[in-house]
Amino acid sequence: MTHNTPLSPRPLRRHSDVTRRVLTAAQLRAQGVTAAETNEQCRPGGSWQQILPGVFLLHPGPPTSEERLHAVLSYAARSPFRETSTGATGATGVAGVPAQPNADEPRPAATPRYADAVITGLAALTLHGFASAPPLPSLDTIDVLVPRLRRLRTMGCARIVRTPAVPTPSYVTGLPVAPVPRALADAVGELSDAATVRRLLTEAVRAGHTEPAAVIRELTEARLLNRPHVADAVESLLAEGRAVAEDHLYRMVREHALPDPVWNVDLRLPGGPHLGGLDAYWPEQAVAVELDTRAPRQEDDALWSEYARKREVLERLGITVVHVTPRKLRDSLEQQAAVVRTALMASCDRDPAAYVVVLPR
């Protein structure tokens, strides 16, 4: 047998998709391919190649980006999925290798193909559709999350990222991918260029991938906020988050036919103290809307106390304060419009509010 001799009549000669082009040693053994035969096929000039320890590419050419992703997951997965090797090719196309599910459908949690392995970092952001993330072919390594106690080393194109708990993945083209906030934190942890970090963080919010609070929670957990270039980028992230939330607020008023408020104002008592700033205010009805764009940091309790104090003072003066978050505006705009409309209509049944001075903020 020479290294060019095909392993016919084994069903491996049919590998029409990536799940049949990238196989582990265990999967090959389950189909009756011995280690000696695998080594023979992987000799120089052979038909196969070993792309990572225990992971084989069943063609001699360069791997595609999809093949690299599957190879990294195959290398990092807790254990190969169990083949059902029946000795015949049925609906799966290749005996013992289950067909890949619809790309838009998550795999059943009980039987994940790649147990305890999740793509993260820049590769995950690219899969999530980030325009500012590099294309997959340009990445020398692909980050993959595994449980902290796994005995795995970074090898070849697979960079192992250990974590106390592997997050529940999203599925993109059938691949387990870390949620955007976690993928961002893992990517930022490896980046030193301030402009790149800022672009990634602002795109996360501007393009609607996630909320600032979720990103900051992950950056805090990863202890990245003490890095000056990350802290600066977070300020841009928060500004972007507020701008997006304000756009949603403007759209809520316009699309749901609410009366026009005065925007971004400060309230004061005549000749008295400053009462606080508001994002929208209806003077005739004495109804205010305030956006909660707090970052989840240690001063949360103090900042929330300030929100609560201002609300209490305004409501004592007869002003109704509607408190909304960016997520509520993004996910339930119609419901938030109904809350504001109800507050405006109820103003007729309340005692008149105290006179206040409205100033531009």
Is the pLDDT reported for residue 145 higher than 60? yes
Q: How much is the pLDDT for 297?
A: 52
Is the pLDDT reported for residue 103 higher than 50? no
Instruction: Look up residue 164 and give its amino acid.
Output: P
- In the numeric block, which tokens belong to residue 247? 């756009």
| Three-class DSSP labels, 187-216 | HHCCCCCHHHHHHHHHHHHHCCCCCHHHHH
Per the CB < 8 A criterion, the answer to whether 249 and 339 are in contact is no
Q: How much is the pLDDT for 140?
A: 95
β pairing state of 158-163 and 142-147: parallel
Instruction: Look up residue 330 and give its amino acid.
Output: R
Q: What phi, psi does 53 have (nearest 5°)? A: -55, 120
Q: How much is the pLDDT for 278?
A: 93
Is the pLDDT reported for residue 37 higher than 80? yes
Percent of the chain's residues with pLDDT above 90: 64
Is the pLDDT reported for residue 304 higher than 50? yes
Cα 238 from Cα 216, distance rounded (Å): 9
Is the pLDDT reported for residue 9 higher than 50? no
Complete DSSP assignment for 130-197 = -TTSPPGGG-S-EEEEEETT-----BTTEEEEEESSPPPPEEETTEEE--HHHHHHHHHTT---HHHH
Q: What is the dihedral of CA 264, 266, 270, 273, to 10 degrees?
A: 170
Per the CB < 8 A criterion, the answer to whether 158 and 141 are in contact is yes
Q: How much is the pLDDT for 241?
A: 87
* 34 pLDDT tier (thresholds 50, 70, 90): very high
For the entire predicted model, the pTM comes to 0.74
Q: Domain ranges in the chain? A: 249-360
- CATH-assigned architecture of domain 249-360: 3-Layer(aba) Sandwich (3.40)
Q: How much is the pLDDT for 346?
A: 93
Percent of the chain's residues with pLDDT above 70: 83
